[in-house]
Amino acid sequence: MSLGGTDLNLLVALHALLEEVNVTRAGDRVGMTQPAMSAALARLRRHYGDDLLVRVGRGYELTPLARALLPEVQRSIPLIEAAFELSETFTPATSCRRFTIAMSDYALAVLHRPLAQRVAAATPGVSLDFRLLPADQRLLEHVLLEYDFVVAPHGYELAGRSRTMFRDRFVCVVDAENPRLVDGMLAGDDFEKLPHAVAGLGADLALVDRELSARGIARSAPVRTYGWLTLPFLVAGTDLVAILPERLAERTRQIAAVAVVPFPFTQTGLINSLWWHANRESDEGHAWLLGVLAEVADEVAELKPAQAGPDPEPIPSDA
């Protein structure tokens, strides 16, 4: 396929090479052999009059031109894909389309089960490719262009369409034998004195940090990690405390042998929103998956946090 004399397959290869910074991995990503990807790189080098990837030690680095090309290619690829997809009629029962959705590990834990069940029931051929949100919030605008949907906490203000996906609140997680627990509660003074394990995630925890700061509380955080899922396991068997969304904390309570206790201060709830770029709205497949995601949002909204895990225990009739 060509556009104005340019082979569009080269654009796909360029996209993979610039993001992977490795010929073999780029080939695996787009289904090309290493010799074929090396040949594509040679053509791209001739086209740009630049090496694009230069050998440094055992790996590669992008040249200054390649670094400048990367965001432009990341913006262009989704627009080209969307343009070609518009000519296709989407039929869920027969489609083999792959959709990409970026979200945190926490949002994936909450949404994956009901979403996967609905998609599998409607279409055996459609697949979902989940990607984690980037650590650098500045990259989210490129993610929104590249992927079909992004689930991000309120506070990530993206240039696209959005709707509320689900709401949650923060709780504290400590080791089940932590001596500062009194009647299953953690006092505010103890919360402040305990060392914290913190997930560096940006806007979601920034909300809580602002509220703590307003109370004059500065957390001591000797342990920091990226992502939510590891926090309960870092806390278990230590004197650490971690702040987690309640839906995730309840799912890991028994597995990690931790206690989930109320957040000792008033807080603003956590809102997770679904985002998509306006250029996808005329895409039939995108509209179909948006409808499925809306159904999932309604289902999740009705669940109590403890119900969100796999194979939940039946809820007592008087609950």
Q: Which residue has the tokens 């309570």?
A: 253
115-163 tens-digit pLDDT: 999 999 998 899 999 988 876 666 676 777 788 999 988 767 777 889 9
Which superfamily, per CATH, for 170-268?
Periplasmic binding protein-like II (3.40.190.10)
Asked if 98-167+271-307 and 170-268 have one fold, the answer is: yes
The answer to whether residues 195 and 221 touch, using CB atoms and an 8 Å cutoff, is yes
Q: Select from 298, 254, 258 the least CA-distant residue to 274.
A: 298
Domain ranges of the chain: 2-85, 98-167+271-307, 170-268
Neighbours of 145 (CB within 10 A): 20
pLDDT band at 175 (very low <50, low <70, confident <90, very high): very high
How many Å apart are CA 310 and CA 288, to the nearest integer?
Answer: 26
* Segment (H or E) for 214: helix 203-214
59-91 tens-digit pLDDT: 889 999 999 998 888 877 766 666 665 545 788
> What backbone phi and psi angles, to 5 degrees, belong to 53?
-115, 130
pLDDT band at 217 (very low <50, low <70, confident <90, very high): confident
* Segment (H or E) for 117: helix 105-122
245-281 tens-digit pLDDT: 999 999 898 899 899 999 888 776 788 999 998 888 8
pLDDT for residue 10: 85
216 alpha-carbon distance from chain centroid: 31
Domain 98-167+271-307 has what CATH class? alpha beta
The verdict on pTM exceeding 0.75 is no
Q: How far is CA 31 from CA 23, 24, 36, 39, 150, in A?
A: 12, 10, 10, 14, 25
When the candidates are 3.40.50.300, 1.10.10.10, 3.30.465.10, 2.102.10.10, the CATH number that belongs to 2-85 is: 1.10.10.10
Q: Which residue has the tokens 């946090």?
A: 305
- Dihedral sign, Cα of residue 177, residue 180, residue 183, residue 185: negative
Q: Which residue has the tokens 């996906």?
A: 165
